[in-house]
Structure 1
Amino acid sequence: MPETVPAYTAAQVRDAERPLLYDGQPLMDRAAAALAQIVQALVDEIIDERPEEQPRILVLAGSGDNGGDALLAAAALQRADVEVLTTGTRVHEHGLATALAQVAELVELADLRDAGTVCDLVLDGILGIGTAADPALRGTARDAVSLLLPAVRDAATRVVAVDLPSGLQPDDGSTADDTVLPATVTVTFGAVKVGLTVGRGPELSGELVLVDLGLGDGLADVPAAGEASISRVVEG
């Protein structure tokens, strides 16, 4: 049953996370475990629909924490063929090593073009709440999203956005252009970002799932920037 919860700016969420990170709490590991649970349920749905072959999962891994979350979640997936495309000049090294050691294969953009662009599911971990005032995707990230968009728009490929759809500004819900993957599900961590609820946020975020990382104390006295309707809360 849908639930209404407060929504916060990126700065408010970062401020609430800071003392937990200072105390050494493994927020990324907890976020990734919850994300893996949600993605695995989608993988299992695809297998139920088409049991004769394993689903093809593509991880778009940016250089920040969202890329790390996506990679660590991918490492825990079962019964799926997992490919990883790194989209930045850097990558979360521990997340990548873990994914490659468990289930994943590293691919290049040319490999996607050669193999065809229809994946069963894309895990969008390109950008997060560190997105600049101009949220436009660039370079490999932009090329990959452009390549995947037709299949996503035709509903041949599902998308799980990690924290928020890459290219969506986290505070005002704006986008620089249409090179953004519309999510089937957005799994947002700690608190709902207000950009998911305004501007193009509702159009691009799909079903909203909140992963509770224990930010309640840090947000208790913070005025919410808005409110959001979520489908469920998952403990992280």
Structure 2
Amino acid sequence: IRQISKCIKERKITKIGISGSSVEKVAQALKDLPEKRSMFNEVVCISVSRHHSIKEIERDIPRQINEIRTTATSKAPLGICLLLLDCIDEHRDLHELKIPNGRCLMLASRSHNVYQIMVVDLEIRTEDHLLPWELFCKNVGKILVHSSNLQQMAVRLIEECHGHLLAIILLARALKDATDFRVWMLALDELTRQPSSQEEGMSEVMVHVLSFIRGR
């Protein structure tokens, strides 16, 4: 979600594809994103399965936008519109779909290759992001359940591991049942500092993680 939000805010990418088995959760989180109203004038959700053709989708987009503008209490100037295209339940060829200018499109699909559905600027696979998180949660214990601060710190630590699964597992085990936020800060400090030396055949991330474990 953070990666998608960053792409949207920077306005450098206009078509983002989200794929994988957990795409429904990501799509719902995007719909509920608090910042979306400040980033977009309109947010339109289109279910592809309810339309028989591309032309129907193209007609439905401006219709929904007009409905939103008609019922809106705030008459803000026209701006960027977020278009959430729900293609979760089926595989459709949407390469010919024409998206009006000023629209940021988000395509959600279970397909592991959204490029077969539509050309996008960026594809985000949910499995690539969920596996590190699931491994961390499994090994760190139940302490994350009741602490939003530790959850946010866990996200930062996982990001600093750059997808190194063994490092994530070892780090989580070192933090198992650690409720002191300062311990987690020490882990983050270790992961973000410049290494004084690097052991042969060992990645920089592993050097940091092992250094933190030794210090524990």
Higher helix residue share: 2
Between the two structures, name the one with larger relative contact order (CA 8 Å, sep ≥ 6).
Answer: 1
- Higher radius of gyration, 1 or 2: 2
Q: TM (normalized to structure 2)? A: 0.33
TM-score (normalised: structure 1): 0.31
